[in-house]
Amino acid sequence: MFDLGNPQYQYLYLVPILVWVAYLIFRSWRKRKQAELVDGILWNRIQPNRSKRKPFIKHCLRLLGLISLVIALINPKIGTRIETITRKGVDVVFAMDVSKSMLAEDISPSRILKAKQILSKAIDGLVNDRIGVIVYAGKAYAQLPLTTDYTAAKMFLRTIDTDVVPTQGTDIGNAVEMALSYFESGERQNRVLFILSDGESHEKGALAASKLASDNGIVIYSIGIGTLEGGPIPIKRNGLVKSYKKDKNDQVVVTKMNPEMLQQLAVGTDGSYTNGSNTNETISFINDALSKMEKVESDTELYTDYEDQFQWFLALALFFFTLDLIVPNRKTLWLRKIKLFGQ
């Protein structure tokens, strides 16, 4: 198992890239100025032993040393021992709506980002519970199987956007069917499904999905993302809004949250609904729902012992910097005197 000791320093990966770009710009500028000031043939006569390759090689060595230092600072760790731990908690599955309507920005910063914010904070509050994540639009996909690895869960969460599901639409029934595969067969208690959605376009499958969940012992808690007033669906390019989604009549589409459908989904399974506008209140809603569920014991294999690996990268950095000091800028004349194949 792989882990990072200091993940807060990951942004330092940008430093070697910036150094490399700066070097290429400087190298290009130096060549241009040299060509303007000195004739190439004359320059070679003035410095006959000057190497053209070694300055580039030395810079590559410095860059590799810098990369090694950054990795050492981040401190990658490798799990070396697995233990089976018995936990007592709830199996909880989150189904996140990733249809295009979730791009609407009627709730800050946007519906999809608000849903991810809620899910991230909900993960932070879990202790012994197993979590699974489903994304759905026109079809549902398993994003994360049930796990107690909350670090992995948050990593997968960062990859979620409205492009992860190619089929557009809102098939909540398919999401419930997918949730069924997460839970152990024969165990009809301890099944919780949180749905984060704007509720739009659920009409066709909402009641059937609610009945399917109820028949299989799944309690649905729905979280509404959006506003009743709604908002347009932005079409962005490079982070900037270029236009808004329009219908067949060339009118801007306004998507509105549909709390009634989300309430129907939950009530049919003895669950409940909340508006997700306030993140802290929504987290309290999730925690209260989980506290009512019966805790069940489960065995989980975890890496319990991690070994630091930063020392290897420090050694690599020292190696590359030492090579940089040893390698001269001049040509290695003695190599030219070696005649491997005679005259």
* Residues 96-112: tens digit of each pLDDT: 999 889 999 999 999 99
Residue 88's pLDDT band (cuts 50, 70, 90): confident
The pLDDT-based confidence of 218 (bands split at 50, 70, 90) is confident
Q: What percent of the chain has pLDDT over 90?
A: 27
Please determine, for residue 257, whether its predicted confidence score (pLDDT) is greater than 80: yes
Q: What is the pLDDT, as a whole number, of residue 6?
A: 81
User: For the chain, where do the domains classified as CATH 3.40.50.410 start and end?
Assistant: 86-300
* Lowest mean pLDDT across 24-38, 56-70, 219-233: 24-38
Q: pLDDT grade, residue 166 (50/70/90)?
A: confident
Please, what is the end-to-end C-alpha distance for the chain in angstroms? Answer: 57
Mean pLDDT of 120-129: 89
Q: What's the whole-number mean pLDDT along residues 289-311? A: 72
3-state secondary structure the chain: CEEECCHHHHHHHHHHHHHHHHHHHHHHHHHHHHHHHCCHHHHHHHCCCECCCHHHHHHHHHHHHHHHHHHHHHCEEEEEEEEEEEEEECEEEEEEECCHHHHCCCCCCCHHHHHHHHHHHHHHCCCCCEEEEEEECCCEEEEEEEECCHHHHHHHHHCCCCCCCCCCCCCHHHHHHHHHCCCCCCCCCCEEEEEEECCCCCCCCHHHHHHHHHHCCEEEEEEECCCCCCEECEEEECCEEEEECECCCCCECEECCCHHHHHHHHHCCCCCEEECCCHHHHHHHHHHHHHCCCCEEEEEEEEEEEEECHHHHHHHHHHHHHHHHHCCCECCHHHHHCCCCCC
Q: Which two structure tokens, joined as six digits, stand for 215?
A: 């028949």
CATH second-level architecture of 86-300? 3-Layer(aba) Sandwich (3.40)
